[in-house]
Structures are given as C-alpha cells and as structure tokens.
Chain A
Amino acid sequence: MKRIGLLFWVAALLTVPRLLSAAPKDVKLPPYQEYTLENGLKIFIVETREVPLVTMRLLIPAGSAQDISGREGIANLTANTLMKGAAGLGAEEISEAIEGVGGSLQVGSGRDATYVNGSFMARDFSRGLDFLAKVVIKPDFPEEEFTREKGIVKAELLSVKEEPSALASREFVRRLLGEHPYRNPVDGYPGSVESITRDDLVRFHRDFYRPRGSVLAIVGDIKAGKVLPQVKKKLGSWKDGGTDVSSPGRVTAVQFPGRKLVVIDKPDATQSQIRIGNIGVSRKTPDHFPLLVANNILGGGFTSRLMNEIRVNRGLSYTARSRMQRYLQGGYFSVLTFTKNETLRETIDVALAELDRIRTEKVGTEELEGAKMYLSGLFPFDLETNDDLAEWFTDLSFYGLDKDVVEKYRSEIDKITSEDVQRVANKYFHAGDNFILVLTNYQETAGQLEGLGPVEVITVDEVR
C-alpha cells in the first residue's frame, strides 16, 4: 500500500499539533515529614489516602560492593537469610505472621545497598514494622537456614547458564568494570558462594547493617503522629557500630582502544545476544538531565534511534535499547539487543553507527523536543503508587540527591539543548573504544565477526 518517504514523514511530524506546547508544570512530591533518630537513621513519613495500604522501604548501605574478594555473594546471602530466623523466632513463624495478614516483607541486595521492602494493609502497619525491625536488628542466621539458602543460590547460579540474556549481561559487566567490586554479580559466582561461611554473614551484618547511612520511608494510609513513636520504639534501639564503612572507590576509566570483543560460544544458540558499552557515571552527576534526554533519543522508548533502525526499519530484533546504569561510585553504559545468528554483524554495525551518529551529528529540534515531552509527560506515572514514592524518598536521601531531581524534573528537562545532548553523547557513548560481548553459535558466526577488533572466545562453561 502506501509508502511514505522520509521527507513526507518529517513534514507529517511537523504538522502534528503538540498538546502540551509549553513546558509542563513541575510535579511536586507530596507533603512529608523527615526525622533523624539519635542513632542516625533517617526517616521519611508520607501520608497518602488512595488505598488502605502502607509501604515501608529501608535502604541499608550494605551492598555487594562491600563483599570480600573471593567470597562474592555475602551481601546477597545475608539478605536472603535475614528472614529465616530473628529474635528467637523461626523462619516459618516469621513468614506465617507476615503472610497471615496478607503482608509481604522482602529483603534483597544491590551493588550499593540492601533493601527491605514491606507492603501491608494499613491496619497491619505495627506488625509490619515490628518484623522489619526484628529481622534487621536481631537476625539469628540459624546454621541450617544458612546452609539451605546457600544451596539455593548455588543452584540458581547454575541455572543462569541456561539463560542467554542473563549470562551475556553478567559476563559483559564483569569484563567491563576492570577490578572494581561493581563488576561482580550481586549473587556472586558458584565458587565464591561455596566458600562463604555463616561467620561471614554474622560479620557482614555487624559491620554494615547500621542505622547511620540507612534511610527508611513509610508511605501510605497512616498518620505520621501515630507512626513516629512506634518507629522510635522499634528502631531507636538499633545500635550504630563503631567502624566506618569503607568506600569501594570510584569506578575508573577503562579503555578498549580499537575495541575489544569477547564471544561466549553457545553452539545450540539460534539467536545471538549483543552487548556494547563502556564505563559510565554515578547516580549523582550534573549530567543527570542531559543524559536522560540523550539516552532516550538513542535507546529509550519505542521511537528511539536504536529501536527505529534495528527493529522498525530492519526487523532485526524484538528489542534494542541503551542504558546508563548508575551506582554511588560510578556505573556503565550499555547497548542491549539480540538477533538471529545470520544477522549478527548487521545488527552490531547498525548499533555502532547509531553510537557514532549521536556523537557527530547534532540532534534535530523535532526529535529533541519529542524526547523531552516523552520524559516529562510520563514522569507523573513514576510517582503514582506508595511504592514509587517510597523508592523516591529513600533514593534521594541515600544517593545524596537534591529533591529538585523530582520537583524540577520537568523544567530541567525543558532546558536541555541539542548541544547538551551532543556533549554528553561524546562523553559517555563511546564509539571506537567500546567493549563488545556477544553470545552466539560461533561456528556459524565467526566469519561475520572479523574486523571488529581482537576477539577472545570462551565457552559457556568457562564463564566464571
């Protein structure tokens, strides 16, 4: 049927009336109360009335970046075992008390922090807080529970090798981040988890689970005046340890001059996974807003350049996106896509061309304004639920961000120019010195990969 040439397409876009022609108004955080307990714990309380629920989110500066080298996975295993015995209560007593009222309490770890997320009917707030305090302050780490959790993590790590996408992403990050602890997967490696003992968990908890540096947000259908005394009572007794947490140090620049290519050879793969990237920037950066816009243009929504060129125009993949993964001390930039083995090289080349183009050509007004409207328009959806708000309040505090990151989001996005985009693209979206990781059936695709840079081929079993 009808074909629309590029010129027509651009013209059509120009005639589209913009609904929100002026910059949309900034979005405010809801009213909140902020406290700091004597032991250093920061607390945010937000009253909302939409649904009879309450969310609690506690962030503790006890992430996998604090793991001991060779025993990676301690933070994760500590978090997994936390709910399995505390204050003399057994694992089943704890889970039944929480699930019995339809509540949930989840503990997990990331690179920078361990989180405890609670969701309860508002009427069960006290019970939820009580158990949150018990598992965080007084975990027992029963030997039997520790052994069981360790067995589960080890088996899960084996099953990662069955999942091409997860396997490719883990190995990509491990090789990209040099010697920095961020390179390690939060759940560790089969060998490192094997060497973890119960004492490691006890020590990790003693050293890193501390109120100072931790932040708790309580958001929901509660009254701050009623909640605060309970929080003081339950968490005021959380003792602050003496030693200071050591920083894992900044992520330092890694260069891959002329590119480096690692291939994970999976002979039964009919589809190849592709990761391209380099190191990035930390959560707190003056480039925050320009990066949001630049990344959205390159590989954000359904209309990003990567999606348009790889998926829409060529039908090469189901997904193509770019991402700035940002932690406290730095991060990385990555392009993620996949395609059938026959079109591996074509897809890599298209992705590399887009990385080059956003650095060398200034982005046009329509595209820039569209990306800005997209980000601004969707922002209220990021603040819709109690869980969303709890995450914002804990993150703002934990990462030391100004609340303007939220409250000036739209006006800051509105200020971004095509020069800003080009500047951060050149700073963070590397072109000639990228690290590329491919998971593929190498026998089938080796010929395609010639000329991309030095190649190192490993088998799935050789992935750490």
Chain B
Amino acid sequence: MAEPAKKIGGIALLIVVLTLFLAEVPAAVSAGKDKSEELDIKLDVTVEMLDNGMKVILLEDHSVPVISYQTFFRVGSRNERIGITGISHFMEHMMFNGAKKYGPKEFDAILESNGGYSNAFTSNDMTAYYEDISCDGLELVIDLDSDRMQDLALDPQYLKSEMGVVMEERRLSIDNSVDGQMWEDINALAFKAHSYQWPVLGWMSDLEKIDRQDCVEYFKTYYAPNNAILIVAGDFQSAEALKLIHRYYDDIPSQEPPAPVRTREPEQKGERRAEVRKVAELPSILIAYHGPDVKSQDIYALDVLQEILTGGRSSRLHKKLVREMEAVISIWAFNPWRVDPSLFMFGAKIKPGHTTEETEEAIYQILDSIEKEGVSPEELERVKNSLEADFVRSMQTVNGKATKIGRYEILLGDYREMLQVPARYRAVTSEDIREVARKYFKSENRNVVTLIPESS
C-alpha cells in the first residue's frame, strides 16, 4: 500500500498513506453478535533522508493544534563497554545541559516558557528525546534540538552536578529498591557475554569515573545525524516543516558509522540460580529464559503467549496463582522487543505463608501443559482482541504515534512494520505457541533470582 510519489529537490520523498484493515473479529465469549467491522487507521506520512544520513519521518495529524517532536538515536547500554557503563543514559541527561547557541539551562527554560514540555528515555537499544508543544512552536524545537545535535557543550561544571543526579536516580531505582535490585541481578546472571548484562543506569563505580573525554567521543559517534531518526507528528504542514528541517540540520556533518555490537550471547547450558538478601517483607521471584531478537517471527507468538499467561484477570497464571492457589499478590510476564536476543521474563510477589518454590512449580506446570496441549481457541481470540485494542489505544495521542514510529524504526528498521503487527498477531496459531514454548522454556535455558527477605 506504500505509494512512492513526488520528488522534492532531487531527494526522493515518499508519501505513504497507510490504511490498516483488520480481519473480522468474532466475539470471544458467547453473546454472539459482534459483526465484522474494520479497524481503519490512516497515517499520512512523509519520509525523507537528508544528505547527512538523518532519516526524517513526518506524520500530519490535525486533530489537536499540537506537535510531538522526537529524535531517536541508535544507541543504548547495548553499545557500551565495561568501564563506561551507564554513559548512554548519562548522555541523555547531558543533552539538557547546554549546547553552542543555547547554553546550560536554556533548553528547558526556553522550551517551558514557550509552553512546551520535554523529556527523554534511554533503554538497552535506544535513546529518545521528545518535545510536546503547541503547533506554532515547530521552528523553536527544530532550533533547540539541532543545536544540541550539532554542538553539545558538555560543560565540566554540569557534568559533575548531572552525575550527582544520575547517581541519585540509581540509588532510587536500584540500590534502595527491592524490585530494581532483582532486575539488575537477573540480567547479570543470564548474560555472561552480551552487554545486556549491565543496567541501563550503569554500575556505580563506572559512574564515578566517566569523564568528559568519554562523553565527547560517545557524542561524536552516536549522536551523529546518520545515527538518528527524527519524527514529527501533529498539526503542521510537511512541506514547510521539511524546509525548516533542511535549514537547521543540513550542516550537521555525518560521522563514521558506529562499530557494530559484535558479541553474541553463547547458548546457556544449564539452569542458573541466584539469591538476593535484602531487608524486605515478602519473598519475590524473577524467572528469565533466553528468547529471540525482535526480528524473529517467534516474537509475535511469544507476545500472544505472554498475554495468555498474564494478560488480565482471565489469564492462566493469574487464575492459577492469584485465584486458585492464592500464593501471590501479582504475577507478570514480559517479552521485551530488543535488537539482540533478549530474555522472556516472569515476576511474582509471594504472599505470606507461601513460597517461591510452589510459585515456580506452578509456572513450570502451566508452561508444560501449554507445550503439550496448546491453547484454546477462546483464549487465542481473547488475547488477539486485547492486543488489537491495545494497539489502537497506543495511537490516541500524537506523542504515542511518534514514539511508536521511532521504536519500530530502531527495532525493525522500518516504521511501516507496525501496521503489519495486528495481522501477525492474528496469524498466530495454537501450534505456533506450542512450538515457541518448547523452544524457549527449557530448564537448561532458565535463570532464577529469588529474594530472601531479611529483617531490619
């Protein structure tokens, strides 16, 4: 359905209008009526590649007079090495601490005093920035964002104070958090070679030593335009936006592409277990199996399986562990979409009088029964409906749409993949689910971290 159209200034400009029609949706539970209705989401998208390698994706949506301006960089903790762990996330912070035209504090001050809001996030695979602002703020955010992409100041005074901020963030979400500590430990346990082993926030001892030179090099390589994707969504005219984007970004030089991440995690040869002893009230458990990378077709069957296992009150593990056994307060499963092979994870907080052992046992039994018997058509229908509704919900705001485009660009290399996803969920069969369960949920591929509560 992608239709190449006109050219602007010699550079191919794709105007793509994507329409998504989802198949008939029968009712999952009795009631019987739900007639066929199409899910029709139109995206009015323009894509352009600048000469310096920056990809620009524009999505016009005139429903509210606002824009969301987002820059995604192909860099995350995955690209780090021991000694500078946490630098990706630290750089995310430093991007708010001054560039050439706009000095320290000015980015936020100017943006906020013009009615805008900005934030950013860093993950294992990507670093993303956004500004949400009234539609007449487009040139302002282009100016602010191109300035920091071109000439980040990395002022020593702010390097120092910002590192203090990041250390507090680490103390808050890992060192003084039961869940955060367990999360850090399970990744360190499951990966012995790949950079997914360390936390996005980095090790404290690396944070203490990261210096300005590390940041300068990191910025030069990873914040180059050829490593970035710019997405603008909202109430603006694409042709006009493109002119502005060219004016502000064309002079930013491209750089040598970053070195690829070479390390592959070797196959795990046996179950690994670890304990965390920490002051806590309730036992807790995390279980992680090595899974596929995001480009594997298995990812969709695993998403469906994740919903069947822990999506909502009708899910298998909720019914078993929360309702029938009354062993846990809550249970979740997580199938992260990551560039390199990642972990399919389970987590549960155990009620007093119950144990992590019985919880583990129950989870393995259910995984076993799915491997043997598959899942019912009703379950399959329920979770497909839920995944479809969640997809629609994620498209309600301009910010949500732009974020989705950015994520798909980084993870799958093409935002248009997102429109295939509902159909890919629809295509998943019970047999596919049995197959991924057999393939990944093997005891020799398993990592378990249990929390042993200590009293204060």
A contact residues vs B (CB 8 Å cutoff) = 1-4, 9, 12-13, 16, 18-20, 24, 50-53, 83, 91-92, 95-97, 99-104, 119-121, 123-124, 127, 148, 151-152, 155-156, 158-159, 161-165, 266-271, 301-303, 308, 311-318, 338-340, 366, 369-371, 373-378, 380-381, 383-387, 459-461
How distant is the Cα of A326 from the Cα of B282 in the complex, in angstroms? 33
| Contact among A50, A53, A316 with B168 in the assembled complex (CB-CB below 8 Å) | A316
How distant is the Cα of A3 from the Cα of B352 in the complex, in angstroms? 56
Closest to B315 in A: A99
- Can you list 5 contacts pairing A with B, beta carbon distance less than 8 Å? A19-B136, A53-B396, A100-B382, A102-B386, A159-B282
CB distance from B91 to the nearest CB of A (A): 16
In contact, B312 and A152 (Cβ under 8 angstroms): no
In contact, A317 and B281 (Cβ under 8 angstroms): no
Q: Please indicate the chain B residues that have their CB under 8 angstroms from the CB of A301 in the complex.
A: 108, 112, 117
How distant is the Cα of A52 from the Cα of B162 in the complex, in angstroms? 44
Known A100-B381, A101-B385: A268·B456 in contact at CB below 8 Å: yes
Which residues of B in the span 68-116 have a Cβ within 8 Å of any Cβ on A? Answer: 96, 103-106, 108-110, 112-116
| Contact among A53, A162, A317, A339 with B393 in the assembled complex (CB-CB below 8 Å) | A53
Q: Please indicate the chain B residues that have their CB under 8 angstroms from the CB of A148 in the complex.
A: 323, 326
Q: Please indicate the chain A residues that have their CB under 8 angstroms from the CB of B116 in the complex.
A: 374, 377-378
In contact, B393 and A19 (Cβ under 8 angstroms): no
Closest to B135 in A: A380
How distant is the Cα of A270 from the Cα of B136 in the complex, in angstroms? 45
Stretch in B1-9, B24-32, B253-261, B403-411 with 4+ CB within 8 Å of A:
B24-32
Most chain B CB neighbours (cut-off 10 Å) among A100, A340, A461 = A100
Known A20-B134, A100-B385, A377-B115: A269·B66 in contact at CB below 8 Å: no
CB distance from A24 to the nearest CB of B (A): 7
Closest to A383 in B: B64
In contact, A268 and B279 (Cβ under 8 angstroms): yes
Q: Please indicate the chain B residues that have their CB under 8 angstroms from the CB of A316 in the complex.
A: 164, 168
Q: Please indicate the chain A residues that have their CB under 8 angstroms from the CB of B421 in the complex.
A: none
Q: Please indicate the chain A residues that have their CB under 8 angstroms from the CB of B66 in the complex.
A: 380-381, 384
CB distance from A307 to the nearest CB of B (A): 9
In contact, A313 and B392 (Cβ under 8 angstroms): no
In contact, B161 and A19 (Cβ under 8 angstroms): no
How distant is the Cα of A269 from the Cα of B279 in the complex, in angstroms? 10
**B272 interface hit (Cβ, 8 Å):** no
In contact, A123 and B37 (Cβ under 8 angstroms): yes
> CB-defined interface of B117-137 with A at 8 Å, one 1/0 digit per residue?
110000000000000111011
Which residues of B in the span 157-172 have a Cβ within 8 Å of any Cβ on A? Answer: 157, 160-169, 171-172
Q: Please indicate the chain A residues that have their CB under 8 angstroms from the CB of B160 in the complex.
A: 315
Q: Please indicate the chain A residues that have their CB under 8 angstroms from the CB of B104 in the complex.
A: 4
Q: Please indicate the chain A residues that have their CB under 8 angstroms from the CB of B385 in the complex.
A: 100-102
Q: Please indicate the chain B residues that have their CB under 8 angstroms from the CB of A386 in the complex.
A: 396
Tally chain B residues at the interface, Cβ within 8 Å: 91
B contact residues vs A (CB 8 Å cutoff) = 27-31, 34-35, 37, 39-41, 63-66, 96, 103-106, 108-110, 112-118, 132-134, 136-137, 140, 153-157, 160-169, 171-172, 175-178, 278-282, 311-314, 319, 322-323, 326, 329, 349, 351-352, 378, 381-382, 385-390, 392-393, 395-399, 456
| Contact among B134, B178, B279, B326 with A377 in the assembled complex (CB-CB below 8 Å) | B134
Q: Please indicate the chain A residues that have their CB under 8 angstroms from the CB of B29 in the complex.
A: 96-97, 100-101
In contact, B456 and A50 (Cβ under 8 angstroms): no
| Contact among A13, A19, A378, A380 with B109 in the assembled complex (CB-CB below 8 Å) | A13
In contact, B352 and A155 (Cβ under 8 angstroms): yes
Closest to A379 in B: B115
In contact, A1 and B175 (Cβ under 8 angstroms): no
In contact, B113 and A152 (Cβ under 8 angstroms): no
| Contact among B37, B64, B313, B456 with A95 in the assembled complex (CB-CB below 8 Å) | B313
How distant is the Cα of A266 from the Cα of B162 in the complex, in angstroms? 27
In contact, A101 and B396 (Cβ under 8 angstroms): no
Closest to A119 in B: B393
Q: Please indicate the chain A residues that have their CB under 8 angstroms from the CB of B105 in the complex.
A: 9, 303, 308, 312
Closest to A153 in B: B329
Q: Please indicate the chain A residues that have their CB under 8 angstroms from the CB of B110 in the complex.
A: 13, 16
Q: Which 7 A-B pairs have the closest CB atoms?
A: A377-B115, A315-B164, A370-B113, A100-B28, A102-B389, A315-B161, A102-B385
In contact, A270 and B161 (Cβ under 8 angstroms): no
CB distance from A354 to the nearest CB of B (A): 16
Known A158-B352, A339-B168: A99·B396 in contact at CB below 8 Å: no
Q: Please indicate the chain A residues that have their CB under 8 angstroms from the CB of B398 in the complex.
A: 384
How distant is the Cα of A383 from the Cα of B398 in the complex, in angstroms? 12
Q: Please indicate the chain A residues that have their CB under 8 angstroms from the CB of B137 in the complex.
A: 19-20, 377
In contact, B282 and A20 (Cβ under 8 angstroms): no
Q: Please indicate the chain B residues that have their CB under 8 angstroms from the CB of A12 in the complex.
A: 103, 106
Q: Please indicate the chain B residues that have their CB under 8 angstroms from the CB of A271 in the complex.
A: 168, 171-172, 175-176
In contact, B27 and A101 (Cβ under 8 angstroms): yes
CB distance from B197 to the nearest CB of A (A): 23
CB distance from A47 to the nearest CB of B (A): 14
Q: Please indicate the chain B residues that have their CB under 8 angstroms from the CB of A303 in the complex.
A: 105, 108-109, 112-113
Given contact pairs A16-B110, A155-B352, enumerate 8 new A-B contacts (beta carbons under 8 Å).
Answer: A13-B109, A52-B37, A95-B312, A100-B385, A102-B389, A156-B329, A270-B171, A380-B64
